[in-house]
Amino acid sequence: MTVVIGLTGGIASGKSTVSDMLRKQGIRVIDADQIAREVVEIGKPAYEQIVKTFGQDILHEDKTINREKLGTLIFSEENKRQQLNKIVHPAVRKEMLKQTEEEKAHQAKIVVLDIPLLFESKLTYMVDEIIVVYVDEETQLKRLMKRNSYSEEEAKIRIGSQLPLKEKAELADEIIHNQGSIEETRAQVHELISKLIGNEETN
């Protein structure tokens, strides 16, 4: 039986680093952000709906979606963000489920769904276990300011738009603490995979 793991965290918590570590261990990772980019490519149903809803102004000259323009538009207006989510989220869910079923058909022991907004988008029903990549608030704030060249105020707004990491950690089955060195994080990932595979083999 395939165990479906939901991997999540907060902005600048290091979830992408953990995701890469899992891939290097040979685990199949299905990336929600990557799928979200693919479902809005030219010719896809979600692309047509977005252009119909938001107009030609959000397109580049080559007709691909200008993410920066669209992002600015939806970040300032909640109703527009909800409109976009209603188009993109169902398309992403459908593709993630399709890819998960393919992995199950190939009898993979573990498949990881990398979903940044796992809790916020109410997608926990798609997974058997939840792993949260955790850092404390101060570390998260400093990392985001450094990574994105944000002011403290900008970083706090971005962090505030998500469920606090502390709350996510309380809802997790497993937590990877990502405040230490890369080696410490890698050791936790390795231990967790061994545990999950071991549990699966004894079931």
Residue range 100-122, pLDDT digits in tens: 999 999 999 999 999 999 999 89
203 found inside a domain: no
16 found inside a domain: yes
Count of domains forming the chain:
1
- Global pTM reads 0.89
pLDDT tens-digit profile, the chain (203 residues)? 899 999 999 999 999 999 999 999 999 999 999 999 999 999 999 999 999 999 999 999 999 999 989 988 887 788 998 999 999 999 999 999 999 999 999 999 999 999 999 999 899 999 999 999 999 999 999 999 999 999 999 999 989 989 999 999 999 999 999 999 999 999 999 999 999 888 766 55
Residues 40/158, Cβ–Cβ less than 8 Å: no
79 found inside a domain: yes
41 found inside a domain: yes
For residue 32, what is the domain's CATH number? 3.40.50.300
> Which secondary-structure segment (H or E) carries 6?
strand 3-8
User: Closest Cα to residue 112, out of 101, 100, 123, 122?
Assistant: 100
What integer pLDDT is reported at residue 73 of this predicted model? 87
Is 121 known as a binding-site position? no
61-92 as b/e: b if 16+ CB within 10 A: eeeebeeeebeebbeeeeeeeebbeebbbebb
202 found inside a domain: no
Is 151 known as a binding-site position? no
The 3-state DSSP class for residue 148 equals helix
78 found inside a domain: yes
95 found inside a domain: yes
Is 161 known as a binding-site position? no
Residue positions counted in the chain? 203
35 found inside a domain: yes
User: In the structure encoding, which two tokens stand for residue 31, read together?
Assistant: 């990336």
Domain that holds residue 180: 3-197
Is 32 known as a binding-site position? no
What integer pLDDT is reported at residue 184 of this predicted model? 98
What integer pLDDT is reported at residue 106 of this predicted model? 95
Is 172 known as a binding-site position? no
What integer pLDDT is reported at residue 203 of this predicted model? 56
What integer pLDDT is reported at residue 155 of this predicted model? 94
What integer pLDDT is reported at residue 201 of this predicted model? 63
Is 185 known as a binding-site position? no
